[in-house]
């Protein structure tokens, strides 16, 4: 019986209504390729920058050169007034500007320090972050170099101690898991999970809501078996889509896959199970596919943003935190990223557990609802038959 229902469902999925297969497999694969391509540059480089050098000395030019040498910046213009700096940033001709004060070289040689001003357009944080950390680094390195020269000349130290005096504490940075702070590793997997979820929900809605009107096909079967038979193919299909899309992200875009295969598969199975069961329950509450699809599309963005994948859960207020706990995405996205990129996800076990629990609860509820709906349907049929 179960096998027959599954077979029929597969038949529908691939032959009679191939849209379902397309959504199920296509959406996540489509997103991997699309967003892999979008984020393939990985880090924001060549930020357009203008230079306002009021000093025009060898020293100031060598500072400008340090910025020009870094591939982070692309110097687009040299300007001659503060107004032009502001105008360039406001017109977006540049996202960053460096202003070197007059007497820059003289002040430094005299032993008075001098301040270099970096202006950044903060509207886009992805650009702003890149500017702040790299500008700080470039200026610190430059300052240490200059200071070393000063210590040699003014104080009369030998080069090595001079260097140590001028920068006694060096900053050393080790970034684990995503060493160049790239966007590919950070972002793509989560978006793909959002697409996978959408794909499962749309395909499932199409199946459950189209067949609602001809439930008598299997009127003799037990409702639980019927429901399992309808959901199982989508769970399996979702698993295959999960494997394909993560595999493609590794193959095409070199996203590392350090995690253990069994753990990855378990996570995928738990997530697709929870989504299938919850989706089944939600679809049963709707009477037509059009409105169910509307809900699915509206749900996509909040589910992604509340998952803690980008904005961390610990920075959420109580309400948002609680809401985020109810979405299956929350338990898959960060875990998947950690597992793939660093090979270990500390919340993996609890995540998998919660997802299976969520799925099981939703499935039981869906069973009740389905049973009720079918009883009503059969009763109506008997009534009409009796009336005739």
Partner 1 sequence: MDILTIIRRELRMMFVDEPKIAAILFGVPVLYVILFGMVYSANIVKTIPTVVYDQNQTEVSRTFIQAFEDSERFRIVAYTSSQEEMDFILQQEAAQVAVVIPPDFSRDIKKGSATQALLVVNGNNLLFANPAIGSAQEIVQTFSAGAGRQLMEKTGQLPTAALGNAAPVRFGLRVLNNPTYGYANFIIGGLGANGLQLGIVLAICTTLTAVYRREKDWRGISSVRIVIGKLLPYWLWGMVSFAAYLVIADQFLLLPVKGNPGELFLIGSAFVFAVSAIGLFFSAIAPNEVQAVQLPIAYIMPAFLFSGYIWPDFAMNTFSQLVSTILPLTYAAVNIRDLMLAGYAPDLYRGVLVLSAMGGLLLSLSVSIVAFRRRRLRLKEHQPGMEGTE
Range 143-202, binding partner 1 (CB under 8 A): 143, 146-147, 150-151, 154-155, 157, 161, 163-179, 181, 183, 185-186, 191, 194-195, 198, 202
Q: Which stretch binds partner 1 (CB under 8 A): 7-15, 132-140, 234-242, 271-279?
A: 132-140
Task: Report the residue from 21, 28, 48, 230 that binds partner 1 according to the rule CB under 8 A.
Answer: 48
Question: Cα(107)–Cα(96) distance, rounded to whole angstroms?
Answer: 25
Task: Report the residue from 56, 81, 219, 310 that binds partner 1 according to the rule CB under 8 A.
Answer: 310
Are residues 114 and 104 in contact, defined by beta-carbon separation less than 8 angstroms? yes
Site for partner 1 in 6-25 (CB under 8 A): 19, 23
119 binds partner 1 (CB under 8 A): yes
Q: Which is nearer to partner 1, 232 or 257 (CB)?
A: 257
- For residue 99, the 8-state DSSP code is E
Q: How far is the CB of 311 from partner 1 (least distance, A)?
A: 6
250 binds partner 1 (CB under 8 A): no
Task: Report the residue from 250, 301, 364, 375 that binds partner 1 according to the rule CB under 8 A.
Answer: 301
Distances from the Cα of 342 to the Cαs of 201, 256, 308, 346, in angstroms?
A: 30, 8, 18, 11
Q: Which stretch binds partner 1 (CB under 8 A): 254-262, 271-279, 297-305, 367-375?
A: 297-305
137 binds partner 1 (CB under 8 A): yes
Per-position b or e across 181-215, b if 16+ CB within 10 A of its CB = ebbbbbbbbbbbbbbbbbbbbbbbbbbbbebbeeb
Question: Cα(323)–Cα(318) distance, rounded to whole angstroms?
Answer: 9
289 binds partner 1 (CB under 8 A): yes
Record the tokens describing residue 373, joined without a space: 């709906």
Q: How far is the CB of 305 from partner 1 (least distance, A)?
A: 6
Closest CA to 334 of 322, 346, 317, 321: 346
Tokens 């920068």 belong to which residue?
A: 167
For 311, residues 6+ apart whose C-beta sits below 8 A from its C-beta are 305
Task: Report the residue from 68, 127, 243, 265 that binds partner 1 according to the rule CB under 8 A.
Answer: 127
46 binds partner 1 (CB under 8 A): yes
Q: Which is nearer to partner 1, 119 or 272 (CB)?
A: 119
Helix axes 348-387, 223-253, angle to 10 degrees: 140
31 binds partner 1 (CB under 8 A): yes
Task: Report the residue from 10, 30, 286, 377 that binds partner 1 according to the rule CB under 8 A.
Answer: 30
x/- map, 64-93, partner 1, by CB under 8 A: ----------------------x--xxxx-
Cα 322–326–327 angle (5° rounding)?
Answer: 125
Q: Which is nearer to partner 1, 172 or 384 (CB)?
A: 172
Record the tokens describing residue 382, joined without a space: 């008997």
* Chain centroid, CA 34 distance in Å: 13
Question: Cα(249)–Cα(255) distance, rounded to whole angstroms?
Answer: 6
Q: Which is nearer to partner 1, 23 or 331 (CB)?
A: 23
287 binds partner 1 (CB under 8 A): no
102 binds partner 1 (CB under 8 A): no
261 binds partner 1 (CB under 8 A): no
The separation between the first and the last C-alpha atoms of the chain, rounded to the nearest angstrom, is: 32
Q: How far is the CB of 312 from partner 1 (least distance, A)?
A: 6
341 binds partner 1 (CB under 8 A): yes
Site for partner 1 in 357-376 (CB under 8 A): none
Closest CA to 307 of 190, 146, 134: 190
Question: Cα(327)–Cα(331) distance, rounded to whole angstroms?
Answer: 8
Q: Which is nearer to partner 1, 5 or 296 (CB)?
A: 296
Site for partner 1 in 208-247 (CB under 8 A): none
Handedness of CA 154, 155, 161, 165 (dihedral sign): negative
Helix (H, G, I), strand (E, B) or coil at 122: coil
Record the tokens describing residue 272, joined without a space: 């697709």
Q: How far is the CB of 2 from partner 1 (least distance, A)?
A: 28
Q: How far is the CB of 264 from partner 1 (least distance, A)?
A: 16
> HSE on the CB side for 311, CA within 13 Å?
12
Q: Which is nearer to partner 1, 110 or 376 (CB)?
A: 110
Q: Which is nearer to partner 1, 38 or 364 (CB)?
A: 38
């Amino acid at each position: 019986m179960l096998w027959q229902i599954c077979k029929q469902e597969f038949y529908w999925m691939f032959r009679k209504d191939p849209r379902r297969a397309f959504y199920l497999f296509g959406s996540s694969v489509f997103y991997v390729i699309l967003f892999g391509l979008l984020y393939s540059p990985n880090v924001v480089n060549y930020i357009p920058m203008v230079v306002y050098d009021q000093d025009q000395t060898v020293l100031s030019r060598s500072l400008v050169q340090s910025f020009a040498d870094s591939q982070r910046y692309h110097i687009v213009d040299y300007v001659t007034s503060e107004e032009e700096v502001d105008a360039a940033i406001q017109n977006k001709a540049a996202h960053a500007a460096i202003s070197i004060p007059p007497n820059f070289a003289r002040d430094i040689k005299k032993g008075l320090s001098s301040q270099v001003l970096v202006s950044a357009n903060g509207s886009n944080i992805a650009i702003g972050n890149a500017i702040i950390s790299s500008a700080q680094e470039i200026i610190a390195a430059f300052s240490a170099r200059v200071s070393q020269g000063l210590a040699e000349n003014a104080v009369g130290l030998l080069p090595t101690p001079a260097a140590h005096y001028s920068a006694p504490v060096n900053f050393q940075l080790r970034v684990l898991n995503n060493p160049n702070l790239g966007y590919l590793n950070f972002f793509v997997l989560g978006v793909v999970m959002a697409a996978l979820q959408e794909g499962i929900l749309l395909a499932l809605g199409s199946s459950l809501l189209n067949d609602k009107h001809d439930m008598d096909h299997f009127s003799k079967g037990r409702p639980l078996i019927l429901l399992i038979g309808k959901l199982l193919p989508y769970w399996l299909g979702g698993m295959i889509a999960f494997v394909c899309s993560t595999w493609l992200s590794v193959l095409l875009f070199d996203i590392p896959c350090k995690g253990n295969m069994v753990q990855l598969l378990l996570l995928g199975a738990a997530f697709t199970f929870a989504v299938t069961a919850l989706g089944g329950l939600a679809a049963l509450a709707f009477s037509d596919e059009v409105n169910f699809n509307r809900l699915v599309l509206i749900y996509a963005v909040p589910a992604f943003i509340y998952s803690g994948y980008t904005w961390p859960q610990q920075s959420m207020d109580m309400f948002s935190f609680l809401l985020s706990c109810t979405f299956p995405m929350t338990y898959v996205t960060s875990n998947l990223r950690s597992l793939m990129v660093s090979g270990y996800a500390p919340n993996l076990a609890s995540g998998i557990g919660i997802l299976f629990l969520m799925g099981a609860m939703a499935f039981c509820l869906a069973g009740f609802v389905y049973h009720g709906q079918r009883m009503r349907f059969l009763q109506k049929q008997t009534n009409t038959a009796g009336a005739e």
